[in-house]
Amino acid sequence: MKVIIARDYKELSKKASSILASQLILKPESVLGLATGSTPIGTYEELIKLHKQGVISFSSVTTFNLDEYYGLDSNNPNSYSYFMRDKLFNHIDIDNNRVHIPNGLTKDIQKECQAYEKKIIGKGGIDIQLLGIGRNGHIGFNEPDIKFEAITHLVNLDTDTIYANARFFKDVKGVPKKAISMGIKTIMNSKKILLLASGEEKAQIVYDTLYGKITPETPASVLQLHPNLIVIVDKQAAKYL
């Protein structure tokens, strides 16, 4: 694994966007795995800047997002579909037909999950998967004690995740309790993984993820086994490294 320690969040975002931009320049038809949450917002801002400067184009890119809340429709401002349009897709030249996010309103979860996996495989797999990390070690919505061999599936959100994400909702009661998420196996099948973490509240989990025991209790710890993992952390998140 390659660990990059950035001075601060801004430098982290610039470094992450450079890696993604070089991926697009070298392979314009790349398949990107994308993430939501606070951490990648700066990276998306930098990518938008590079696009507006004419450095990169998303016109041939395909994207798959990690997850979506179950029960929220794509126009709900708390849905990850809305988040992605707001933070990235509305500002770049991506073809909406090549954007994929699990349908949180699906009536047939099994079918939705299987179709999502099939589409990823049909596109030749994910070239680079961007990841944030939860304080409890989740990646996507793969919460502690998940099965490493799981593919896209319906998950129950951990209490810690529900409280962490309540900041985006009116109150904690409004946070959905379930989500559709790529599984650990889906994520591990990506050709390259770019894990980002910022701030002191992530310092312990970053240490446990990179140097602790590989265990489903810390879902992200499985990333130690990925052959092509790049980790970018800012100084605060790198406190114990």
The answer to whether 136 is a known catalytic residue is: yes
For ligand PGA, the closer of residues 114 and 148 by Cβ is: 148
39 binds ligand PGA, rule: CB under 6 A: yes
Contacts of 26 (CB under 8 A, 6+ apart): none
Distance, CA of 137 to CA of 224 (rounded, Å): 13
134 binds ligand PGA, rule: CB under 6 A: yes
DSSP 118-180: HHHHHTT--SEEEE---TT--BTTB-TT--TT--SEEEEPPHHHHHHHGGGSSSGGGS-SEEE
**Smallest gap from residue 166 Cβ to ligand PGA (A):** 12
38 binds ligand PGA, rule: CB under 6 A: yes
Single out the segment in contact with ligand PGA by CB under 6 A; choices: 14-22, 35-43, 50-58, 224-232.
35-43
Distance, CA of 35 to CA of 51 (rounded, Å): 19
Could you list the beta-strand ranges (E) of 54-139: 62-65, 67-69, 99-100, 128-131
132 binds ligand PGA, rule: CB under 6 A: yes
Which residues, 136 to 155, sit near ligand PGA by CB under 6 A?
138
**Smallest gap from residue 164 Cβ to ligand PGA (A):** 6
- Comparing every residue's Cβ against ligand PGA, the nearest one is 37
Single out the segment in contact with ligand PGA by CB under 6 A; choices: 21-29, 36-44, 85-93, 214-222.
36-44
Query: How many residues lie near ligand PGA (CB under 6 A)?
Result: 7
Of the candidates 176, 153, 172, the one whose C-alpha atom is nearest the C-alpha of residue 71 is: 176
